Structure 1
Amino acid sequence: MRKHFTTVSALLFAVAALAQQHPDTTRAKAGPPAIAPVIPKPGPKPYKDIITDKAITQKGLFTVHKVDDKFYFEIPENLLGSEILAVTRLVKVPGGARKYGGEEINQQSLTFEKGPNNNIFIRVVTLISSADSTNVISKAVKNSYLDPIAAAFDIKSLGKDSSGYVIDVTDFFKGDNQIVGLDPNDKRQFGLTGLMPDRSYIQSINTYPINTEIRTVKTFGAMAPSPTGMPSPFPTPSLPAARNAGVITIELNTSMILLPKVPMHRRLFDSRVGFFADDFTVYSDDQQKVDNQTFAVRWRLEPKPEDMEKYKRGELVEPAKQIVYYIDPATPKQWRPYLIAGINDWQKAFEKAGFKNAIVGKEWPENDTTMSLEDARYSVIRYFASDIENAYGPQVHDPRSGEILESHIGWYHNVMKLVHDWYMVQAAAVDPKARKMKFDDELMGQLIRFVSSHEVGHTLGLRHNMGSSSKTPVENLRNKAWVEANGHTASIMDYARFNYVAQPEDNISEAGLFPRIGDYDKWAIEWGYRYTGEGDVEKDKRINNKWIVNRLGANPRLWFGGESYNTDPRAQMEDLGDNSVKASEYGIKNLKRVIAGLPEWTKEEADRYENLSDMYMQVVGQFSRYTGHVLKNVGGVYETFKSIEQPGDVYEATPKAIQKTAVAYLNKEVFETPNWLFDKNILNKIASPVANERVQTIQVNALNGLLDGARLYRMVVAGNRYGVANTYGIDEMIDDVKKGVWSELSSHKPIDAYRRNLQKAYADKLISLLNPNVITAITGLTSSGVQITTTETKNTDVTSVARGQLKALQAEINAAIPGTGDRMSKYHLQDVSERIKRALDPKQ
């Protein structure tokens, strides 16, 4: 109460005092209020005042000083403006994050520059366009592509010899900075809020001649996942730490690597050889159009100067710098030799480019404390304790040239389950060693070896070549001598896992069952790594074009078929051979053998049929793959990239005979009820009959895929371009499908439950074509992503044919109903007839 009274009293006193003051009109008006003097910002202090006798100093890319709890970078003058690649990786992560120690989470190109007020800036370099400084247009490029200033530091002192600048980087690396930390997408995924400064710190900073390594520990507030069944605007992994503590702690390592002063010579990307690519726009004064330059991503592999003449004579020489991959010491010891073998398998490919011992795998030197697994100078196969069934092969490259600087391959422990299941389903019919739930170490090791080779191929710059397997005739896959000598696909970069075409009587060994580095892989490495010494990208391009024209003309197995994003049925995942119908027929023969063996092969003591359930679903999945392989032929378009020196067209419709054969296969193997998959000895042990089996879903999906509006429209356009006599028309195709799906209309046989469901789906799909939505489809792949097209089919022949087919089907159903004796079949036909009637005349 006293406090309130005192406040009121003081207020009354102030008012009274003001009332007693009278304005002095005799004095001139007062001027503007005085401005407080600006206190000048303190400038750099003497070196010894900042870097005291307590400093622990390391020399390297930056000279790093630690003084008490502060970290300082001493940046030499000659480093300003040089491009530095900052690569941030996870070191340790909370459980449930679905990310793992060793994975990259951020990458930025940076430069340090002197600011105007005794400060140093960090700019993030966004390479969009470039121009040589000798060109006048380079001024316009500089004016149009300004890089952002991402951080600023006061200059604490000049360098010891006054040729550099000392800055305090403590708060920068301790703090939440996007350029050397988590990006916003990761934060949303983890459900992070703010950084907790009191629980975040720099663990260590170490510096080396071309790189500086910063390891930090950062703690963030974190939102616990929504309770089960509750919607969340941002789907997040299940992080027990967030639920238990409300925070999560992450350890990070940022590698700051000095990029080469002179970038590697670029090799322009060519769509006929499957390399990853980067790009930017090049401007010059003498252009008449802009040069959008796309170039291959590859390692810098060059002969030593003293070996250059030997190299030119065709002798194998060792490169000036060998490509080395290390094995994470967290890798179980029994698998290390196989991972190393998968790396070393690429040596024979590099010999085609003129280099011996170009690549090697090594165990990590665990006693060498100067090396760090997160150091971006080293390429490592990182081993993750994860249930994810996968592995992946990324790379870090110089955005100016495409030069690969290092790679951390991600290897999930549970990839072994993936390769086990693949091999049992695809090879157990011919290889007795595949007929158990735990393979011998030698077999599993060889499976690991092939995956290692595949992922290393990605880190050498190679993309998937899903078309490679199509260059092997199907019958050669059963020819023991041929397939064991040449392999079942010409590329390990294809998704052609194992030779599922081989039959037991062919007696084919693992040499003819396993994928391996093949003809295409050797050619791709030769194209990407053959050293020309030519610095002009256009001259280098002309040399490479001649290589491609000559080599592909001599050996069709060197074809790059793309990554299966287009409509070319020759480029598909998980398929084999040049004829998907024949290959799938052989595959189904083997699947029937596997189904019969599963109850015995999956037995393990105390197993409650989990093994049987899992492997049965793998068999069904393989059957689904065969269905997809065949389906893609219908309405397919061959895409064969060529230069003007090569004969023939780039785009051709899939031959009509192949498309008709594909529909015949689907009618027989898919739309006719595949009773061999409904083995009650298996189903009654693994699944309650409360929902449709997955096989029904496969049937309906295949039917919907055949009658898909985008596919039908593509077939219409193909007929317009190539002539209806040379292509498979949609009316003819739907007639062929109808004969298979609705065969009971003429045979008057009872229609089983699976067929009834399928026939209803057929009618519903045609009905949906009467009022189609805009169709979005992936029609190709560019260096920067997939190419998307949209199609409106409402005013095309697709709608007209759908209406005509529905009228014809309704008439056939109505004619068949009186002769149908089976009651459920009759109810079904009456139902479908009524659906069609309402669709054709909605007003009724």
Structure 2
Amino acid sequence: MKRVSLVLAFVFGLILVIVPLSVPQSVARWLPTHAVANQSSPAQQADSSPSPEDSPRKPSDDGDEEKGQKPFEQVIQDTATSNGLFTLYQNKKTGKLYAEIKPEQLNQNYLAVMTLESGIGERGIYSGLPIGDFLFTLRRVNNAIQFVVPNINFRADRGTPIRRSVDRSFSDSILQSLPIRSTHPQRKSVLVELNPLLLGDLPGLIPVVSFALSKPYTLDQATSYFDQVKAFPSNVEIESVYGLSGSSGNDTELPSYIAALPDSRAFSLKVRYSLSQLPQNNGYRPRLADDRVGYFITAYRDYTNDAPRQSFVRYINRWHLEKQDPTAPLSKPKQPITFWIENTVPLEYRDAVRDGVLMWNRAYEKIGFKDAIAVQQMPDNADWDPADVRYNTIRWFNSTDAIFALGPSRVNPLTGEILDADILVAADFTRALKEDYRSIAEQNQMRSAPFAAQLLGKENLCNYGMAARYLRRQTPSTEKKSSPRLRFGSHLGNDQDLCLGLDGAKQYAVGNMALSLFQNVLPNSSEMKDYVQQFVRELIAHEIGHTLGLRHNFHASAMLKPEELNNPEITRKRGLTASVMDYNPVNLAPQGTKQGDYFTHIIGPYDEWAIEYGYTPIAAKVPQAEQRTLDQIAKKAPQSDLSYATDEDIFSFLDPKVNVFDMSGDLLTYSQWQMDNARKMWERINTRYPGEGESFSEVRVAFNAVFDYYFQYATFLGDYVGGQFFNRYKSGDAKGRLPFEPVPLEQQRLALATLQKNVFSEEPFQFPPELLNKLAPSRWSHWGTQPSIELDYPIHDNILFLQSIVLYDLLAPQRLARLRDAELKTQPGQALTIPDLFDSLQTSIWGDVIQPTDNLKLSSLRRALQRQYMNLLVDMVLRQVDAPEDARTVARYELKQLHRSIDRAMRKVSDREIYTKAHLEEARDRIAKTLDAPLQSR
């Protein structure tokens, strides 16, 4: 649903790749020697002497530093040797692992990439997750090799005075000091033991695991060891198996219960460290970023020159793609971007996965690349591992509680060049409706809804949902909102991207159910198989977009008019949306209309434009020389199909066209269509569920799925109220257009009217008693299940929760402040005012009391909503919640008007109608006490 789920942000990025960096000469001018790979030959490197200015630390000249070391051959006795980037010596008897470091490999940059190769299958600890990548260098200090993460966020040209200040002002991070065990007498290479580093907690396992499992866990050295160790010319691959113990030393405290484990007291996690060398002198040129086009960026602060308006230099993240024939209009690349479909991907999805990857070649062809992206199938008997940094893979994983996809890439942090990427997909995406998940409203009754929202605030999370609005109401504005960083490798600065979680799966599930309920499509039919292929294809295309460097575009789904969405002649030519980088919902046609595509078949015009900006070959020697050509591309931003808004644009809930899982440029119309579809699905669930021999819990699962769907579209409408359309144009891009454009008054009024009809009215929720009495919960009780404690279905509470979230959002202090500001930002008479909003809500919610009929009778749903609205106004007047002062005074005015209306309505209530009479008497007395209460000072 619109921002509804945020799906457990256990984004962990742990991939260890060691890489000496290749840097263009245009970039190298400001880099310290400890931050750039030496471009000279190994012999030249060995003979060169860094200047005092560029040398971060000088090795000790102590001639006795090798004292106490054992002979080289003695140390490596009984070890298995692996020759490669670093020569590795593994002693399986003692468990020791040594690395031989050559003199020329010191003071070079490498990239560390770590991957969680095994998990426990729940609570965010899943196999295949990336858990960290970062730049590091090896420095010799006295008789030890320091493992250092250099500080490359602050830079200045070498040879300038400010450079000295920069080097002294910002510290590097020394993560480990490894004693030198031996020195080779001829090669002068040194031997260090890797156990303290790679069997220590470099990834940050302990804090993350302890937080995720809610109990302390410790590393058990007795059960930790190195598994596979492989060395190649440009990388080494090391697998560390960590034993973890739940013992805290307190015999009375039990470890956390983990359903997926046979015994929760202990388990093991395997981490793959990929230590790899970056390509040397490969001609890659960084490309400057533009905020009109959505790329992930690599940024640093440049202190060389005080003149620029911005001290930050920003490069987009992209692959190094070159034509074989630079003069040809269409040429194959020298090296295509190749993805491998892991052999764990189910056979029935492999064609859709392949199509989703290759969908992007359309964009590259338009800028002169033929077959820029290639796909290969990983053989069942492959002798390489998908976590190997040399392979870009699409991986499947299983868990008991995770539904998400992830598309991270590893980037040269000096230049923005993408080096490696792996896509991770939860196997449960296509099983969502088969599981007994509870609706967001029912979760709230169990006090678990905040868990879905607790990680709000991280910029690049992919699911935002209604939980965001819920959390905003629960957190006082005076408190600084923070979120636990439940991510491996967060201390290493990794910021990966969690994508398309539970809400994406629910979109699939509702569409699946719609095929069955509206078209009588059977599960094994060709129609259903085609539907599944459409979903998987778009899912993979979205994640591939991330691995190409692209960020989300949450404006893209507003490209087409509602009436165009089910016309294949339009959607197969332009796309269902402007970008696969949006969170696109299942497209369900309104009843009586022929169904078109459920999910897009092609990438959209925004995708093609973004690729044009990032990958168009430009003849230039330095990034700045590309600026004119890039600006001409970015200037297309005002074209409606190229509108762009990303993660940080969505949390303000300002622009009604910037949402997750919305569709069409007229959301007022499309939302009504989908809420009508939901009501029709409820009717058919009642007549067709459960099937013969099926459990009644199936009815509850289906009912909840549709409830969430209805909830999703209801929550979109509030953003029209006080809303503004926002664009990222630069001056001169679009004459007569400004960054903020108020939503027209008539659209704001229509949004309120639609909410009155579909949310604040009791009519949509008049479910047949027969349906409500079918909503039995699953009663299975064993590991892997969480049977509901409450047998009954809390229908009143769930409906009120939906209504309250919409009501709270409309009266949120941010929205009220916007309504107040809108009176200055629009022409007279063209703004919806705070009194307009309050009057509309009061008329909608208390209308039957304001204009009572004889024998007035208020239903339980009506009474609950009226009470909630009244409580909000009371809280405003008594300063229990934040609100602009004008809103407080209007709230007080509305309460006085309501008090008079209740007095009149009391005369229309029969003495036998106790519910209504008691409700009105209590409301009248509360309002009277509120109005008489002493005014609280600020």
Q: TM-score range by the shorter chain?
A: 0.7 to 0.9
The aligned residue for residue 164 of structure 2 is 139
1:351 corresponds to which of 365, 372, 392: 365
The aligned residue for residue 524 of structure 1 is 610
Give the C-alpha shift of residue 354 in structure 1: 2.3
Alpha-carbon distance between aligned partners in 2 of 1:697 and 1:805, rounded to the nearest angstrom:
23
Alpha-carbon distance between aligned partners in 2 of 1:56 and 1:109, rounded to the nearest angstrom:
28
Alpha-carbon distance between aligned partners in 1 of 2:114 and 2:766, rounded to the nearest angstrom:
49
Q: How does 1:633-672 map to 2 (within 5 A)?
A: 633-646=720-733, 647=735, 648-672=737-761
**Cα deviation 1:44-75 (Å, max 9, x = unaligned):** 555444445x5533222112233564432222
**Cα deviation 1:353-373 (Å, max 9, x = unaligned):** 32121112221133332x212
Classify 1:525/1:772 alpha carbon distance in 2 versus 1 (closer, same or farther; 3 Å). farther
Q: Which moved more, 1:804-813 or 1:765-774?
A: 765-774
**Secondary structure, in 3 states, of the residue corresponding to 2:836?**
helix
Give the C-alpha shift of residue 675 in structure 1: 3.8
**Cα deviation 1:215-236 (Å, max 9, x = unaligned):** 1122122259999xx999xx96
Give the C-alpha shift of residue 636 in structure 1: 1.1
Kept after mapping to 2: 8 A contact 1:352/1:525: no
Q: How does 1:410-425 map to 2 (within 5 A)?
A: 410-416=424-430, 417=432, 418=505, 420-424=508-512
What TM-score, normalized to structure 1?
0.85
**Secondary structure, in 3 states, of the residue corresponding to 1:576?**
coil
Give the C-alpha shift of residue 239 in structure 1: 6.1
**Cα deviation 1:149-201 (Å, max 9, x = unaligned):** 22223334444742533323244333x242x5636334443445432222221
1:77 aligned to 2:103?
A: yes
The aligned residue for residue 309 of structure 1 is 327
**Cα deviation 1:264-301 (Å, max 9, x = unaligned):** 43333322222222322112146466611233222222
1:812 is aligned with what amino acid? S
**Secondary structure, in 3 states, of the residue corresponding to 1:409?**
strand
1:746 aligned to 2:851?
A: yes
1:194 corresponds to which of 189, 200, 218: 218
**Cα deviation 1:473-529 (Å, max 9, x = unaligned):** 2222254543454333221122222222x234332343x654642111122222222
Give the C-alpha shift of residue 640 in structure 1: 0.6
The aligned residue for residue 714 of structure 1 is 818
Classify 1:756/1:226 alpha carbon distance in 2 versus 1 (closer, same or farther; 3 Å). farther
Give the C-alpha shift of residue 145 in structure 1: 1.7
Alpha-carbon distance between aligned partners in 2 of 1:210 and 1:281, rounded to the nearest angstrom:
30
2:698 corresponds to which of 573, 589, 611: 611
The aligned residue for residue 395 of structure 2 is 382
Classify 1:767/1:264 alpha carbon distance in 2 versus 1 (closer, same or farther; 3 Å). farther
1:173 is aligned with what amino acid? L
The aligned residue for residue 36 of structure 2 is none
**Secondary structure, in 3 states, of the residue corresponding to 1:607?**
coil
The aligned residue for residue 679 of structure 1 is 768
The aligned residue for residue 870 of structure 2 is 763
Kept after mapping to 2: 8 A contact 1:561/1:570: no
The aligned residue for residue 277 of structure 2 is 258
2:613 is aligned with what amino acid? W
Q: How does 1:401-550 map to 2 (within 5 A)?
A: 401-416=415-430, 417=432, 418=505, 420-424=508-512, 431-433=519-521, 440-479=528-567, 481-500=569-588, 502-510=589-597, 514=600, 516-549=602-635
Classify 1:535/1:602 alpha carbon distance in 2 versus 1 (closer, same or farther; 3 Å). farther
Alpha-carbon distance between aligned partners in 2 of 1:667 and 1:503, rounded to the nearest angstrom:
21
The aligned residue for residue 890 of structure 2 is 801
Kept after mapping to 1: 8 A contact 2:572/2:601: no
The structure with the larger Rg is 1
The aligned residue for residue 28 of structure 2 is none
Alpha-carbon distance between aligned partners in 2 of 1:519 and 1:225, rounded to the nearest angstrom:
60
**Secondary structure, in 3 states, of the residue corresponding to 2:314?**
strand
Classify 1:721/1:51 alpha carbon distance in 2 versus 1 (closer, same or farther; 3 Å). same
1:589 is aligned with what amino acid? D
Q: How does 1:261-300 map to 2 (within 5 A)?
A: 261=280, 264-285=284-305, 287=307, 291-300=311-320
Classify 1:602/1:803 alpha carbon distance in 2 versus 1 (closer, same or farther; 3 Å). same
Kept after mapping to 2: 8 A contact 1:318/1:358: yes
Structure scoring higher RCO (CA < 8 A, sep ≥ 6) equals 2
Classify 1:591/1:195 alpha carbon distance in 2 versus 1 (closer, same or farther; 3 Å). closer
**Cα deviation 1:96-131 (Å, max 9, x = unaligned):** 45422211223232101121x233221122332112
The aligned residue for residue 924 of structure 2 is 833
Give the C-alpha shift of residue 663 in structure 1: 0.4
1:552 aligned to 2:637?
A: yes
Classify 1:689/1:81 alpha carbon distance in 2 versus 1 (closer, same or farther; 3 Å). closer
Alpha-carbon distance between aligned partners in 1 of 2:380 and 2:412, rounded to the nearest angstrom:
29
2:871 is aligned with what amino acid? D
Question: For structure 1, which runs of at least 5 residues remain unmatched after alignment?
Answer: 1-37, 776-792
The aligned residue for residue 244 of structure 1 is 263
Alpha-carbon distance between aligned partners in 1 of 2:651 and 2:249, rounded to the nearest angstrom:
35
Kept after mapping to 1: 8 A contact 2:552/2:646: yes
The aligned residue for residue 243 of structure 2 is 219
1:552 is aligned with what amino acid? A
Give the C-alpha shift of residue 316 in structure 1: 1.8
Kept after mapping to 1: 8 A contact 2:121/2:399: no
2:114 corresponds to which of 88, 113, 117: 88
The aligned residue for residue 373 of structure 1 is 386
Alpha-carbon distance between aligned partners in 1 of 2:906 and 2:626, rounded to the nearest angstrom:
71
1:368 is aligned with what amino acid? A
Classify 1:321/1:758 alpha carbon distance in 2 versus 1 (closer, same or farther; 3 Å). same
1:363 corresponds to which of 369, 372, 377: 377
The aligned residue for residue 114 of structure 1 is 140
Q: Which moved more, 1:806-815 or 1:420-429?
A: 420-429
1:64 aligned to 2:150?
A: no
Classify 1:728/1:207 alpha carbon distance in 2 versus 1 (closer, same or farther; 3 Å). same
**Secondary structure, in 3 states, of the residue corresponding to 1:112?**
strand
Alpha-carbon distance between aligned partners in 2 of 1:572 and 1:245, rounded to the nearest angstrom:
40
Classify 1:352/1:134 alpha carbon distance in 2 versus 1 (closer, same or farther; 3 Å). farther
1:568 aligned to 2:655?
A: yes
Question: For structure 2, which runs of at least 5 residues remain unmatched after alignment?
Answer: 1-62, 433-504, 777-791
Alpha-carbon distance between aligned partners in 1 of 2:822 and 2:429, rounded to the nearest angstrom:
42
Give the C-alpha shift of residue 206 in structure 1: 0.9
The number of residue pairs the alignment matches comes to 769
Alpha-carbon distance between aligned partners in 1 of 2:846 and 2:932, rounded to the nearest angstrom:
23
Classify 1:425/1:489 alpha carbon distance in 2 versus 1 (closer, same or farther; 3 Å). farther
Classify 1:165/1:389 alpha carbon distance in 2 versus 1 (closer, same or farther; 3 Å). same
What TM-score, normalized to structure 2?
0.76
Alpha-carbon distance between aligned partners in 1 of 2:290 and 2:105, rounded to the nearest angstrom:
35
Give the C-alpha shift of residue 345 in structure 1: 1.4
Kept after mapping to 2: 8 A contact 1:478/1:503: no
The aligned residue for residue 445 of structure 2 is none
Classify 1:767/1:539 alpha carbon distance in 2 versus 1 (closer, same or farther; 3 Å). farther
Kept after mapping to 1: 8 A contact 2:240/2:270: yes
2:148 corresponds to which of 106, 115, 123: 123
2:815 is aligned with what amino acid? R
Kept after mapping to 2: 8 A contact 1:109/1:126: no
